[in-house]
Amino acid sequence: MALTQEQFMQLMGGKREPVTASLASVLDLIKKPLDYYAVDKRVPLVGGQSAADLIGLTGTQSLVQDFSQGKPMMRDGIADERFIDAASMIPMLKPAAIGTGQAAKYLGKEALRQGYEGTGVLGKIAPDMNMYAVPNNSPFVPNVKAGEELLVQHNLSPEKLIAANKLGGMPVPSLAINKLNNPISGFGDISLIGSKEMAIPSAKNPVYKSDAYTKRAPSINYNIDFKSQRNLENLLSDVIEKVPSGQAKFGSLTQDYKYRADNKLLKAQFLKDQNLLPDRSLFPDDYKYGNEIDNLVNENTNKYSSWLNNFESNLPSLGVNVELYLRKTLEWCDAANMLRIQLERQDIKFIPSIREYRILYGLDKTMLDSLSKKIVIMHPGPINRGVEITSEVADGSQSIILDQVENGVAVRMAAMFLLAGK
């Protein structure tokens, strides 16, 4: 498992002192092979204890780990009994500490980094130690050759685990059933192990003949009403003018607000607030300017995440309200200006499918008739009929789309005439 300290803190929701955390990890690596050897359970007093238990390593490792997480070391005014284990370890740890002191000065920082990130020498040792929690010559399933035991697992990256934790769980995780000596590891450094019941077909656990992999995950969809869009546009007006294709970027922001963290306008606004926004005139083209914005934000990832949270928490006080459901918005509005998905302005596809968008955000006659009052239907055109709006609604009695488009053409002609005359 390769989790950085920052990722671990995100996942656990608390802080971890880095030096003692690293020491706890090193002690755990030493402890694992000693746990394989235990005293016969029939021996009085010490029966069943591992070698790590007998020398006090188990208690010492858990004590250091709890200390790194800020847990109290006193219980009812009495020092934790694990200090006795730690004291018994000192004679053994002292020679090792003296012998490795000079090396630690040179390799200390690198060792900490490797231990947390799972890279380099320490990073390679840690997974190997975990893989052999059951020795190759000791099968843990009766009558099955060691290494041939079946394993139920879900393999993922630290980032995906953190995202699942924020979401509240994994609604439909894909499960693999593999042999212990050939686990799946291509999707990340972490494997979640399931119970054997997850591999047994039953009414609650159906098994299918085929499998499918889809790059989909539950997410929140947002709908920003017209007034809020204007308020948000005013709020970002400075960077809209400075960022190439600013209006298009703003359109992407309001249409696909769930991907706001990747939007160039919010990145630029963050840099502007930090006095880090570069001067556009210093770059030969829009592409390199956009890359510089991305690079600067990547260098300040933690600050950007904090800024984004603060920015969003202040939006309601600035007159920007985000609504998640189309129907809820239609209930209070007097006119709905339906917009099309401008796929030609999107660098990547933000919507899994047109069908899903139609189901979630498409306006049809059934929804329109179910509202408590009649509202005016508008659309600037062109219309994606059957996507954001059905033909029955677009051509219905509540629609003023043709008048809207006709007047729009007249206004454009008048503007061109006046500009051309000057």
pLDDT of residue 348: 62
The confidence score (pLDDT) of residue 257 equals 80
Q: Coil, strand or helix: which one is 359?
A: helix
pLDDT tens across the length of the chain (422 residues) = 444 445 545 554 444 556 667 677 777 777 777 776 666 666 666 667 777 777 777 878 787 777 777 676 665 556 666 776 676 665 555 444 444 444 344 444 444 444 445 444 434 333 333 333 444 456 667 788 877 888 888 888 887 787 777 666 776 677 888 888 888 888 888 888 888 788 777 777 776 666 666 555 556 667 777 778 888 888 888 899 888 888 888 888 887 787 888 889 999 999 999 999 998 888 888 888 988 999 999 888 888 888 888 887 777 776 767 677 788 888 888 898 888 877 776 666 667 778 878 888 889 999 999 998 899 999 988 888 888 999 999 999 999 999 988 898 899 899 998 888 76
Cα angle: 311, vertex 312, 316; to 5 degrees: 110
* 325-422 under CATH 1.10.287.110, yes or no: no
Helix, strand, coil percentages for the chain (3-state, nearest 5): 55, 10, 40
By C-alpha distance, which of 250, 216, 210, 213 is closest to 353? 216
- Identity of the amino acid at 263: N
Contact 232, 224 (CB under 8 A): yes
What pLDDT sits at residue 1? 44
pLDDT of residue 268: 92
Q: So what's the pLDDT on residue 280?
A: 87
Distance CA 249, CA 24 (A): 47
How far apart (Å, rounded) are the C-alpha atoms in residues 252 and 163?
23
Instruction: Give, in order, the Cα–Cα distances in Å from 349 to each of 130, 263, 275, 329.
Output: 39, 14, 32, 25
- pLDDT value for 267: 92
Closest CA relative to residue 318, chosen from 228, 397, 396, 387: 228
Domain positions in the chain are: 5-131, 150-199, 227-311, 325-422
User: Residue 112: what pLDDT?
Assistant: 47
pTM: 0.35
Predicted local confidence at residue 340, as pLDDT: 83
